[in-house]
Structure 1
Amino acid sequence: MASSALTAVLHRIDAVFGGMTAPAGGCLHCYDAEELALLAVPRAPLGDDLVRQLFHEVPGHFDDHPAVVRRLLPEFFAFLASGRFDGIGYQSTALSRTAWREWPREQAEAIEDFLDTWWLETLADPEPLYGVSAVWELCVESHGSLAPVLDVWAAAPRGGTEDRHLGAWVAYRIDELLQDDPFVLPWDMDGEALLPGLQAWLVEHAVDRLAGHADPLLAPKVALLALAPEERWVAYSELIASAG
C-alpha cells in the first residue's frame, strides 16, 4: 500500500494530467488501432501491459509523443508505485525521451514531486519494493541529471537505512567506479560526462557515511576516487597490501 506522501503525489499527478488525451495515430506494426484509439479517450484504462509498453516506446512511434506521455502518466506512475512493475530498469522510459522540464510549470513540478518522493521513500524502506539500484537508475534517467537524485540522498538522515542502502549500492559499483566505467550510469545517458560528478559526490558524501560499513576497505576505496587514475591504482595497491 502506498504511503500517505506517495498517495498525495499520485493524486497531484492525477489532478494535473488526468483526463488528458493524445492523438490516436501511431505505429500500426506495433499496436492495434483499437489500442491507439484508447489514447484519445479520457481516462480509458489501458492496463498494465499496454501502459508499460507505451511508456517505453521510442517517440517516432506516435504522432505526438509528448501528448502520449502526458496521457500515460497517471496510470503509469500508479502502476510503478504499486510494485507491480516487474521489469523496472530494463529499458529507457518516456520521460528520458521527452523535454518534460520545459512543460508548463505545474506539470514539471508534479513529475519532479513524484520522482523525489518515490526515491526518498525507497531509500527509507529497509526492503523497498524494487531494488535501490533500479529506482536510482530510473530516477536519474527520468530527471536526465544526477543532481536531483543525489541531493535527496545527501539530505537523508545519517546512520540509518539510507546509509545501509548507500553502502550496498557503492559496494556493488565500487570496482566500476574505480575503473572510470561510464556504464555505472544509465546506458542512454552521457556517462563519460556525468561520471566525474558522481565520483566527486561519493567522495564528498559517502566516505563519512560508510565509515561503519562491514567492509572496512569500502570507505577508503571511495576516497581513492578523488585521485587521478595513475595515482589511484598506486594508492589502491598500497591499501590492499596494508589490509594484509
Structure 2
Amino acid sequence: MIPPALACALRRVDAVFGGMTAPAEGCLHCYGAEELALLAVPRAPLGDDLVRQFFHEVPSHFDDHPAVVRRLLPEFLAFVAAGRFSGMGYVPTGLGRTAWRDWPSEQAEAIEDFLHVWWRETLADPEPMYAVGAVWELCLDVHGSMGPLLDVWAAAPRGGAEDRHLGEWVAYRIDELLQDDPFVLPWDMDGEALLPELQAWLVEHAVPRLAGHADPLLGRKVALLALAPEERWVAYSELIASAG
C-alpha cells in the first residue's frame, strides 16, 4: 500500500505532468512506430515494460528527450511507488539525464517533493518495498548530489528504522569507504569528488547513530574516516588488535 504522503506527492506529479505529450519520433530500430505514437497521445497507458524502457533510454533515441521524460513521469513514478519496478537501482535514469531543475518551477518542485517524500518514507519503513541502497542510488542519480538525501537522514529521529537502515548500509560499504573507493557511489557520478563529502557526513552523523549497532566496532570504524589514509590504517590495525 502506498503511504498517504507518497500518494499525495504522486497526485501532485500527475496534476503537473498528466496529459503532457511528446513527439512520436524516436529510434525505430529499438521501438515500433506504434509504440512511439503513444507518446503523442495524452494519458495513453504505456504499460510497465514500455514505460521502464523509455525512462531508462539514452537521450539520443528520442528527438525531444526532455519532453519524453515529462510525458512518462506520472506513469513511471506511480509504477515505482506501487512496488512493481524490479529494476530498482538501475541507473542512469531518464530524469537524471535532463536538466529538470531548470524546468518551470511547478514542475521542478513536484519532482523534488516526490523524491523527498519517497526517500523519507523508505527510510522510515522497517520493511520498505525496495532495498534502501537501491532507492538511494536512484535518488542520487536524479538529484545529481547527496545533500538532499543526507539532509533527510540527518533529520530523522534517533533509534528508529532510519538508524537500522543506516547501520545496514554502512556495514555493507565500510570496507570500500575505508579504502576511499569511489565506486561506493553510482558509477555514473563523480565518486572521487563526492566521496569526501559522504565520508565527512558519516563521521558527523553516523557515528552517534551506530552506538547501539550489533557490531560494536562499526561506529569506531566509521570514525576512522576522519583520518588521512596513512593514519587511518595504523589506527584500524590497532582497533582490530584491541578487539582481540
TM-score norm. by structure 1 comes to 0.99
Aligned to 2:148: 148
Aligned to 2:106: 106
- Deviation of 1:96 after TM superposition, in Å, equals 1.2
Aligned to 1:170: 170
**C-alpha contact (below 8 Å) 2:90/2:138 kept by paired residues:** no
- Deviation of 1:87 after TM superposition, in Å, equals 1.1
Structure 2 residue 115 is matched with structure 1 residue 115: yes
1:60 partner SS: helix
1:101 partner SS: helix
- Deviation of 1:50 after TM superposition, in Å, equals 0.2
CA distance in 1, matches of 2:199, 2:11: 36
- Deviation of 1:163 after TM superposition, in Å, equals 0.2
**C-alpha contact (below 8 Å) 2:123/2:165 kept by paired residues:** yes
- Deviation of 1:90 after TM superposition, in Å, equals 2.5
**C-alpha contact (below 8 Å) 2:206/2:222 kept by paired residues:** yes
Question: Partner letter of residue 88 of structure 1?
Answer: M
Aligned to 2:52: 52
Structure 2 residue 144 is matched with structure 1 residue 136: no
CA distance in 2, matches of 1:71, 1:163: 37
Q: CA RMSD in A?
A: 0.5
Which ranges in structure 2 are unaligned for 5 or more consecutive residues? Answer: none
Aligned to 2:82: 82
CA distance in 2, matches of 1:3, 1:191: 32
2:233 partner SS: helix
- Post-superposition Cα deviations, 1:102-130, rounded to whole Å, max 9, x if no partner, equal 11111001001001100000001111000
The number of residues matched between the two structures is 244
CA distance in 1, matches of 2:18, 2:149: 26
CA distance in 1, matches of 2:94, 2:67: 11
2:42 partner SS: coil
Aligned to 1:227: 227
CA distance in 1, matches of 2:113, 2:152: 12
Structure 2 residue 97 is matched with structure 1 residue 97: yes
CA distance in 1, matches of 2:173, 2:153: 16
Aligned to 1:184: 184
CA distance in 2, matches of 1:50, 1:23: 16
- Deviation of 1:92 after TM superposition, in Å, equals 1.3
Question: Partner letter of residue 237 of structure 1?
Answer: S
- Post-superposition Cα deviations, 1:218-244, rounded to whole Å, max 9, x if no partner, equal 000000000110010000000000000
- Deviation of 1:69 after TM superposition, in Å, equals 0.3
Question: Partner letter of residue 202 of structure 2?
Answer: L
CA distance in 1, matches of 2:183, 2:218: 20
1:177 partner SS: helix
CA distance in 1, matches of 2:197, 2:187: 16
For residues 37-76 of structure 1, the aligned pairs below 5 Å read 37-76=37-76
Aligned to 1:31: 31
Aligned to 1:5: 5
2:23 partner SS: coil
Moved over 6 A (4+): none
- Deviation of 1:141 after TM superposition, in Å, equals 1.0
TM-score norm. by structure 2 comes to 0.99
**C-alpha contact (below 8 Å) 2:91/2:141 kept by paired residues:** no
